Structure formats: C-alpha cells, structure tokens
Chain A
Amino acid sequence: MIKSSATQMAAALAKGEVSSLELTQLHLDQISKVDSQVNAFLFVDTEGALEQAKQVDAKRQKGEKLSPLAGVPLALKDVMTQKGVPTTCGSKMLEGWRPPYDSTVVTRLKENGVVILGKTNMDEFAMGSSTENSAYGPTHNPWDLTRIPGGSGGGSSAALAAFEAPLAIGTDTGGSIRQPAAVTGTVGVKPTYGGVSRYGLVAFSSSLDQAGPCARTVLDAAYLHEAIGGYDKLDSTSINAPIPPVVAAAKDGNVKGMKIGVIKELQGDGYQPGVLELFNQSLELLAAQGAEIVEVSCKYFDYALAAYYLIAPSECSSNLARFDAMRYGIRVGEGSAEEVMNKTRQVGFGREVKRRIILGTYALSSGYYDAYYGSAQKVRTLISRDFENAFQQADVLVSPTAPTTAFKIGEKANDPIAMYLNDIATIPTNLAGIGGMSLPSGLAKEDGLPAGFQIMAPAMQDDRMYKAGAALEAALLTKWGKPILDSAPVLGAK
C-alpha cells in the first residue's frame, strides 16, 4: 500500500478499502523502520497525525463531502509553521520553538483533510543543495545512503523515495524542490511565484521563495498543488487569480502540437553525460507523441547564478536579522541585549548561513548597493526578458534539472561554488518568478542513479508543465514497465 501513489491511496480511502488511520499507521511504521537510515524527519507527530486521521475517517463515515486528498498522509518541510509543532528550519537557532500559528499551506492541508506526519529535514534555513547544512545531521539518499538527497528540501524528497510519505511539501528558492526531486527519482514542482501563499514559510529570500508540491507522480503533485494553491490575503505577493487547471492538465497529458523549447545554455559543459543522454531520450519520447522540439537561446542565463548569489543573500541578511534571542528560539550568553544577540547568532547559525548573511550585508552596504544588489536586479530583468522571448517560440522550456546525479555526502562540503553550481539550471525560473517542474528521466548510465527532467512554463500557465510532464511520465512508464522507484534498494533490512 505505501508504494501506491497518493491518487491510488485516495481512491482506496474513498472506497473504504482502507481507513486513514490504517494508512497513517502504515506510514508511521515505515518511518520507524527506515528513518534511522534516511534521517528524513526532524519530528514525527505520531499523536497529531493519528488524531487528524481519525477525524477524517469520522467525517467520511458521516458521509461528509471530502476533498480528493482527504486522509492521505504528507511530510511537511520544517520551514513551514504548524501550530504547536516544532519548527526548526534545520537550525539550532529555532530549537524548541513551537509556532503559535499555522502557515497558510498548513491551514489548507488541514482543510483538505491531508494528514501531516511530521517535519522533514532541510539545509539550515533552506540554504544549500544537499541537506548537509542541517544542524540535525544530513539526510541520506534512499538510492544510496552514502549520497546526498539534494537540498534544501532533501528530507521531503527522501521521505517520498523511502515510502515514508506519498506526498510532501517543499519550498524552492533556487531549486530546493526540483533538484532533490531529480536526485531522488521523484516529482517536484515550483509553482509560479505567488501561486502558493508564503504566509508561514520562514523566509530565506522573500522574492524567490515559493512553496510547492512534492510527490511520486505528476498527477499526485497536481492534486497537492490545487489543495495548497491560490490567493491568500495574508500574503501581499500572492496572485489574486484562479489556480491554473493543473489536475485536468495532468490527466490530459497530451502534447500533440505542443512546442517544447530546449534551452541551449542549460546543457553541455558541466553536465554529466548520462544525465544529458536521459534528457535527450526524454525529448525523443515527447517528439514521438507529437510535440515539436525547438532550440531556444537565453543568453543572460550565464549571469543567473551570480545574480542569485547577490539577491538571495541580501534578502536573507535582512530576513534572518529577527533571530536575536529576544522573543523565541535559543538564547546564549548573558549581559547586555547586544552581547546576547551576538553570542546567540554566533552559536545558533551554521557556517553556510553565516556566509550568506555576511555576503548579503556586504552587498547591501552603502556604496556597494548599486554595484551588487542593483546590478543583480538588472540581470534579473534581463533573464525575465530571455524567458519572454523564449516563450514566444515555445509553449514550455526544458532542460536537465541538475547537471549531475546525487554526489557523495561530504564531497562538496568545502567547496561552496561547486555546491552552488548544482542549481545552475533551476535558478533562472526563481529569478523570473515562473513555474518549474522536475520529474525523473531515468537512471544515469554511469552510476545507476536517478536524473531529473525540468519543464518550465510562463507565469500562471503552470498547467502546461503538468501536461507535458504527464506525457513524459506515461511514456517512460511504458518504456520501463514499472515506476522508477521500484528499482531503488529496499531499506530497513538490517
């Protein structure tokens, strides 16, 4: 049962073949069985999850009308607040903090009857591409426990790949949903900026952060997208428009006549040959279904990484200023408020977080602002224009999600630039505020590890990527004869 898709689980629940309580318990059992190896969860809310499950079962028994995902369990990235449940953002700074309020995503999950199993591991404050920057130890990739599960949302994607949950919530600032999806053989979607409320998402970089669905199938992701998406008056940057019809698009999966643009700049040097090979095979499968493949050029993408590493740290230096030991989280040292703030921040933040705070503080300083933050914003505009031009020529744009498959834990820990390069293909969509999806393209010939195929769509046209994604997923399933995760090693056998 736990290997089914969320959609299948929902159907079984609706038919009464299984109760939410049973389904939740099965997942809690799997967590007990495998999470000592994976370390996907920072907190398992056994009681809360079982209670939520009981409530959904009771409603179902009373014959109440329930939403499609009612009773299905989910893993929540620890960057989203959930009332009364520990929320650490993978940082020592917030150890012991139980937020007094629900994020809008959590509110909507609860309204939809989705059962929240617990909080998943992540790079501290979502800064990283490997989940190694968590203050609570790294998450291990279920495909190979010596390897990283991607980041920052490695916990959410690993939980899916280890069958600890059929659905998960991630957040994506520069690829934190899509790159983990790619290296774990799962699906991850960063919706259009403003498509899902950020209220209760502990901010890393406000103008880039976007919460989104993680799942094992495109259709599951679509259902979750519809459950959490849409306008929220608590987030001024959320878009006041209907959610694009993503479930219908995922069910449709017809790419006949669709123009698919391959971005020239997102392949070649730096990309693992096996990853590129799978990418090209995927293109052929799409073409075979009637899609038209065209090549497009986005010449300013070369500057995307540099712009990102000015904008994101600048915003983070301000967003993370509030962690000062005055109101919540840990408090270290004594003496004046200033001394306590200094000491707490010294102890509470990890190396990567400090690196980015310092970078951002510098970039915003008087005399440097124009050269750094100002220039980066101009690059951002140019990248948006690149996308606009490209979308004149194609309905969706595609690339490999990440240049490589999962690397070894510790391999890039001391080389931040090498680490940052993992996000080279995912960052442009964040800068432009458009949507991006990653789904598995297969196992790379060199190492037998999963690679990701990225689909990007214009703002508020998220349905297009679900349509193309569903088409590719179906073609690959036919080709392989079984879901990709069936090839992953079985965990928990000691």
Chain B
Amino acid sequence: MALKYEDVIAKYEPVLGLEVHVELGTESKMFCGCNTVFGAAPNTQTCPVCLGLPGSLPVVNGKAIEYTIAIGLALNCSIAPFSRFARKNYFYPDMPKNFQTSQYDEPICVNGYLDVTIETEEGPKDFRIEIERVHMEEDTGKSLHMGGATGRIHGADYSLLDYNRAGIPLVEIVTKVVTGTGKYAPEVARAYVSELRDILRGLGVSDVKMEQGSLRCDANVSLRPIGVEKLGTRSETKNVNSLRSVERAVRGEMIRHAELLNKGEKVIQETRHFHEDTGLTTPGRSKEQAEDYRYFPEPDLVPVAPSIEMIEKIRASLPEKPSVRRKKLQEAWQVPDKEMAAMVNADVLDQVEATVKLGTDPTRARGWWLGEIARIANEKGVSAGELPINASDVAEIVGLIEKGELTDKLARQVVEGVINGEGKPAEIIKNRGIQVVSDDSSLMAAIEKAIAAQPDVAEKVRGGHVPAAGALIGAVMKETKGQADAAKVRELLLKHLGQA
C-alpha cells in the first residue's frame, strides 16, 4: 500500500532541481550546415562534421548563439562577455565523436530567475525559481534497438543508428536548488516547465514539442525531514516528456523517497526513467558508476564573446512576457481568473487566441477548446494542441452554428471528424451527410408523428403546461436523428399546439 501524499508532506520537505533541454529551431545544426527537419529519413541530414568524420571541424551556428542569448535575457540572466565550449568525453555509439561539444565552467548565461504562479485552494500562489545557468550543446544521434522484447539495449539483437539528430543545437536550462514549495512541489515543477515553454515559444526559438522531444525535462527530487537543513540524496528522472508527467514524476518520486526513508533505507543517487503508463520510475544507471567526463576547453572552437551591442539588440527585440500577454488576453476577453487558469492548464491559450483572431466570439472559442476538444484530448491522453484540429477549423464550425447550419450536437460530430482526419469541416459535413433539418414540412411530419404517439402529452401542452413539450421535442429530435434545430422544433410544436 503506497504511502499517501499527505503523509509525505507532513514529514518531509521536497527539494527540486530542474534541467530542461530545448532543441533550438534553427534551420541548420549547431556546428555544421545540415538541415534539422524532424522525421526525415534516417541519416539523410548528415555531413562529415556531424558524423564526426576524421579531419572534420565544427563551426558555431551564429543563430544558435543569438537564440541562447535571447533565452538567457528572457530568464533574467547575465550574459557572459566571454564563454567557451568544452568537450564532455564519453563513449556511446550514437555520439559520433565520442565526446559532446557542450559548455562546462564557462556557460553563456548565468544567474537568472523565472516567476511562476499556481492555482491552489487558497488562491493563486507565486514562486520564484532561480536559474543557475543556460548553456549550449549539441544533441546526440538516436539508437534504435532491434529485436528483444523491451526496445532497450539489453536483450536487443542489434542496433540501428540515426545521426540526423546528431549536432542539433540544444540549450540546457538548469535551475538552482528549488526549496520552499512544500506540498506544491509537483505543481510548481509543472508550472515552471509550462511557463518556460511559453517563454520559449514566445521567443520563437524552438517548437517546444515535448512529445517529439524538442523540450525535455530532467527532474531532480530529494526529500529532507522538515526542519532539517542538510539536503537529502536526490534522484534524477530523465527525459520526462509532458507537463502532466513532470507533475506525476515529481509526486511519484516524493512518495518513493518517503517510503524508503520511513523504512530507514537510503535513497540511491541515480538516474531514473519515468513510465507514462504506470506513473512510476525505474532505475537507469547509477551515479556511482558515472563516468569521469574529462571536460576540457574545446580546442577546435574560439571563445564566444558577444558584443554589448549584439546583446542589447536582442534584448530590445524580446517579445512581451507570457504573463503580460495572459493579462492582456484576460482583459480583452473578459474572462474570470478561474477560466483563465483552466485555459492555461489545458494549454489552449494559443488556440483560443488564434480562433478569436479569426473573428470568433471569445466565449464560444473558449467553450469549444476547453470543452469538446479538451475532452477528446484527455481521452487520447494528449494535449489539445497536439490534436489535428486548428483555429480555422473551430472558427469555421462556430460560424456554421451561428448561421444555423449546424446544431451544437452536429458540430460535435464535425469536430470528431476533423480530429479523425476526415478532412476540413465542409468536407465532413458533405461526406457524413450532416445537415440541420430546417425544412418545415419534414419537421411538421415528425411533429405530427410525435403527437400521434403521445396524445396525452400533447393534450397537456394544449392545456397550457408548456414544460411537458420536452418529451415531444425529444421524440422529434430522435426521429430526425438529431439533425433538427431543437429551437426550431420547439417553435413549430408550440405553434401547432396553440401555445405560441
């Protein structure tokens, strides 16, 4: 029987450390001119440099440096006037040079912070997450382990290597130790990653798709008994790839640590893998066996020394902060705090904004994204933004409702169709034969039939008991397979029974 979360936080204080890796959205790789398109055929986006062929040399992508500086500035960091790349040496087949070109003791951005707000039962709460560093590095290739049951390297018959990802620019954002979150640690972790993601998206430096791995979070968690200063032993859960998972992973690790500590056992310092299905983590490699990376300054690259003019130019071009933007949208849409928070949580703010921009009423736009679409997303275990439905689809559907060409119920079918990949709303309406029955004579036939079937109810309505009409309207709707506009049916029915 797992320990209850309340019991964990009654006894222990959680301490977090979050490392977020972001793939930059540059057109070319960190140190060569290769393309960075996601999902290209294996090993088609490679060259002597990113394959680490003998004799090849790296050249820094200037755009990646600009992006990284923009990230640092958006996170309130100082930009180092002089920073260097370093080699992190270890052997792994998907790392072409068997060292990763990264930054070590001289990162490009240091000492920033990010403020996040979470909704709690006691109202909104603010937390300041301090940023230790933001640095640049290159991604590795990908190993695909073939044969064997697990898809992991152990037990595999052979492995395939794809170096398309090797050399894609990565930025690593590392927080300082995060304390003082108490029972809200999981929510704070999630809010931090969410806010960070919004900032990165606003900067346009990455497509921040967690499910594709362009933004991944490593969550370090430790517990210490309340009142104790000394930090506990941490575990590091690697590559958590959704906001929901960040929250679950932190909560899960807190419970796991507490169970060990309660039994008088030790938490092992190790990396762990998070499993979406169970919400649990399993051990990766233990840090005791961790390699000595033998960092040293990368001799093939010259130091990065951005000019003050360059930094100020980037600072001047930074977009407004997501928190400012949210406030503006909230005022423009006249939405209460709670609704706003719901949209942020469901991660549909961009979609609602885009839909409103197409002329849709904010309340209606919000209703669809937060209602039916969010419901389907939840069912599928993805975020609304990942579904193949976009703002123009929703705007079109809402427009049809307003014109009376769709009912709410029919519109839900259209939404479902779009998400199923049946095409654009107009096509679906045509192909599925969806149409609002507004032709009075066919409606009247159905009404007559309903009255004939329930003469007693019809009599009650004639007698002035209007609410009884519901049963008849229901029957008509059933007869027309939901394609009738209920308001129209009601109008015709009441008129027919002398009540309008």
Q: Are B299 and A200 in contact (CB under 8 A)?
A: no
Q: Are A364 and B89 in contact (CB under 8 A)?
A: yes
In the bound complex, CA of A321 to CA of B296 (Å): 14
Tell me whether B55 is interfacial, beta carbon within 8 Å.
yes
Asked whether A235 and B91 contact (CB < 8 A) given A100-B48, A326-B161, A366-B292, the answer is no
Tell me whether B350 is interfacial, beta carbon within 8 Å.
no
In the complex, which residue of chain A has the Cβ closest to the Cβ of B88? A318
In the bound complex, CA of A324 to CA of B96 (Å): 9
Query: What residues on A are CB-neighbors of B54 within 8 Å?
Result: 81, 87, 89, 94, 97, 99, 202-203, 322-323, 328
Identify 13 residue pairs between A and B in the complex whose beta-carbon atoms are under 8 Å apart, listed by A's number.
A99-B54, A203-B55, A205-B299, A233-B59, A314-B296, A315-B296, A317-B89, A321-B91, A322-B98, A324-B91, A327-B52, A369-B295, A369-B296
Q: 1/0 per residue B86-127: CB within 8 Å of A?
A: 010101010011110000000000000000000000000000
In the bound complex, CA of A321 to CA of B58 (Å): 16
Q: Are A318 and B294 in contact (CB under 8 A)?
A: yes
Given contacts A199-B57, A337-B159, A341-B93, 16 further A-B contacts (CB under 8 A): A99-B53, A101-B48, A207-B299, A233-B59, A236-B59, A315-B296, A318-B294, A321-B89, A321-B97, A326-B93, A326-B161, A338-B91, A341-B91, A364-B295, A366-B294, A369-B294
Contact of A337 among B59, B93, B97, B292 (CB under 8 A): B93
Query: What residues on A are CB-neighbors of B91 within 8 Å?
Result: 321, 324, 338, 341
In the complex, which residue of chain B has the Cβ closest to the Cβ of A233? B59
Tell me whether A198 is interfacial, beta carbon within 8 Å.
yes
In the bound complex, CA of A315 to CA of B97 (Å): 13
| Residues 67 to 106 of chain A near chain B (Cβ within 8 Å) | 80-81, 87, 89, 94, 97, 99-101, 103
Query: What residues on B are CB-neighbors of A206 within 8 Å?
Result: 299-300
Q: 1/0 per residue A219-255: CB within 8 Å of B?
A: 0000000000000011111000000000000000000
Tell me whether A361 is interfacial, beta carbon within 8 Å.
yes
Q: Are A321 and B98 in contact (CB under 8 A)?
A: yes
Q: 1/0 per residue A165-204: CB within 8 Å of B?
A: 0000000000000000000000000000000001111110
Contact of B300 among A202, A236, A322 (CB under 8 A): A236
Of listed A87, A103, A200, A205, residue having the most chain B CB within 10 A:
A200
Q: 1/0 per residue A352-366: CB within 8 Å of B?
A: 000000000100111
Query: What residues on A are CB-neighbors of B300 within 8 Å?
Result: 203, 206, 236-237
Q: Are B302 and A361 in contact (CB under 8 A)?
A: no
Q: What number of A-B contacts does a CB cutoff of 8 Å give? A: 101
Tell me whether A373 is interfacial, beta carbon within 8 Å.
yes
Tell me whether B254 is interfacial, beta carbon within 8 Å.
no
Asked whether A318 and B60 contact (CB < 8 A) given A87-B54, A100-B48, the answer is no
Tell me whether B330 is interfacial, beta carbon within 8 Å.
no
Q: Are A103 and B96 in contact (CB under 8 A)?
A: no
| Residues 417 to 438 of chain A near chain B (Cβ within 8 Å) | none
Query: What residues on B are CB-neighbors of A99 within 8 Å?
Result: 48, 53-55
Of listed B99, B159, B294, B300, residue having the most chain A CB within 10 A:
B294
Q: Are B89 and A318 in contact (CB under 8 A)?
A: yes
In the bound complex, CA of A337 to CA of B145 (Å): 12
Asked whether A201 and B294 contact (CB < 8 A) given A236-B60, A324-B93, A364-B89, the answer is no
Contact of B299 among A103, A315, A369 (CB under 8 A): A315
Query: What residues on A are CB-neighbors of B48 within 8 Å?
Result: 99-101
Contact of B294 among A323, A337, A361 (CB under 8 A): A361
Contact of A80 among B55, B59, B292, B302 (CB under 8 A): B55
Q: Are A318 and B87 in contact (CB under 8 A)?
A: yes
Tell me whether B301 is interfacial, beta carbon within 8 Å.
yes
- B-contacting residues of A (Cβ < 8 Å)? 80-81, 87, 89, 94, 97, 99-101, 103, 198-203, 205-207, 233-237, 314-315, 317-318, 321-324, 326-328, 337-338, 341, 361, 364-366, 369, 373
Tell me whether B51 is interfacial, beta carbon within 8 Å.
yes
Query: What residues on A are CB-neighbors of B59 within 8 Å?
Result: 233-236
In the bound complex, CA of A341 to CA of B52 (Å): 16
Q: Are B97 and A365 in contact (CB under 8 A)?
A: no
Contact of B55 among A200, A324, A369 (CB under 8 A): A200
Q: Are A364 and B97 in contact (CB under 8 A)?
A: no
Query: What residues on A are CB-neighbors of B87 within 8 Å?
Result: 318
In the complex, which residue of chain A has the Cβ closest to the Cβ of B156? A336
| Residues 465 to 488 of chain B near chain A (Cβ within 8 Å) | none
In the bound complex, CA of A153 to CA of B96 (Å): 28
Asked whether A81 and B302 contact (CB < 8 A) given A318-B99, A321-B89, the answer is no
Q: Are A373 and B299 in contact (CB under 8 A)?
A: no
Tell me whether B56 is interfacial, beta carbon within 8 Å.
yes
Q: Top 4 A-B pairs ranked by shortest CB distance?
A: A321-B98, A364-B294, A206-B299, A207-B299
Q: Are A322 and B57 in contact (CB under 8 A)?
A: no
Contact of A328 among B53, B57, B295 (CB under 8 A): B53
Of listed B48, B56, B59, B302, residue having the most chain A CB within 10 A:
B56
In the bound complex, CA of A322 to CA of B55 (Å): 11
B125 shortest CB reach to chain A, Å? 41
Query: What residues on B are CB-neighbors of A94 within 8 Å?
Result: 54
Q: Are A365 and B93 in contact (CB under 8 A)?
A: no
A35 shortest CB reach to chain B, Å? 25
In the complex, which residue of chain A has the Cβ closest to the Cβ of B300? A206
A100 shortest CB reach to chain B, Å? 7
In the bound complex, CA of A371 to CA of B123 (Å): 56
Query: What residues on A are CB-neighbors of B301 within 8 Å?
Result: 236-237
In the bound complex, CA of A81 to CA of B99 (Å): 21
In the bound complex, CA of A199 to CA of B301 (Å): 12
Query: What residues on A are CB-neighbors of B52 within 8 Å?
Result: 322, 327
| Residues 23 to 75 of chain B near chain A (Cβ within 8 Å) | 48, 51-60
In the bound complex, CA of A321 to CA of B291 (Å): 15
A312 shortest CB reach to chain B, Å? 11
Query: What residues on A are CB-neighbors of B99 within 8 Å?
Result: 318, 321
In the bound complex, CA of A80 to CA of B294 (Å): 27
A360 shortest CB reach to chain B, Å? 9
| Residues 289 to 326 of chain B near chain A (Cβ within 8 Å) | 292, 294-296, 299-302
In the complex, which residue of chain B has the Cβ closest to the Cβ of A340? B93
In the bound complex, CA of A323 to CA of B87 (Å): 16
In the complex, which residue of chain B has the Cβ closest to the Cβ of A377? B297
In the bound complex, CA of A207 to CA of B300 (Å): 7
In the complex, which residue of chain A has the Cβ closest to the Cβ of B60? A236
| Residues 138 to 159 of chain B near chain A (Cβ within 8 Å) | 159
Asked whether A198 and B296 contact (CB < 8 A) given A324-B91, A326-B93, the answer is no
In the bound complex, CA of A205 to CA of B96 (Å): 18
Query: What residues on A are CB-neighbors of B302 within 8 Å?
Result: 236-237
In the complex, which residue of chain B has the Cβ closest to the Cβ of A365? B292
Asked whether A234 and B57 contact (CB < 8 A) given A318-B87, A322-B97, the answer is yes
Asked whether A322 and B294 contact (CB < 8 A) given A199-B57, A237-B300, the answer is no
Query: What residues on B are CB-neighbors of A103 within 8 Å?
Result: 55
Asked whether A327 and B96 contact (CB < 8 A) given A237-B300, A318-B87, A369-B296, the answer is yes
Query: What residues on B are CB-neighbors of A101 within 8 Å?
Result: 48, 53, 56
B225 shortest CB reach to chain A, Å? 32
Query: What residues on B are CB-neighbors of A81 within 8 Å?
Result: 53-55
Query: What residues on B are CB-neighbors of A315 within 8 Å?
Result: 296, 299
Query: What residues on A are CB-neighbors of B53 within 8 Å?
Result: 81, 99-101, 327-328
Query: What residues on B are CB-neighbors of A323 within 8 Å?
Result: 54
B30 shortest CB reach to chain A, Å? 13
Query: What residues on A are CB-neighbors of B299 within 8 Å?
Result: 205-207, 237, 315
In the bound complex, CA of A234 to CA of B301 (Å): 11
Q: Are B56 and A200 in contact (CB under 8 A)?
A: yes
Query: What residues on B are CB-neighbors of A314 within 8 Å?
Result: 296
In the complex, which residue of chain A has the Cβ closest to the Cβ of B92? A337
Q: Are B96 and A236 in contact (CB under 8 A)?
A: no
Query: What residues on B are CB-neighbors of A366 within 8 Å?
Result: 292, 294
Query: What residues on A are CB-neighbors of B57 within 8 Å?
Result: 198-199, 234-236
In the bound complex, CA of A66 to CA of B176 (Å): 62
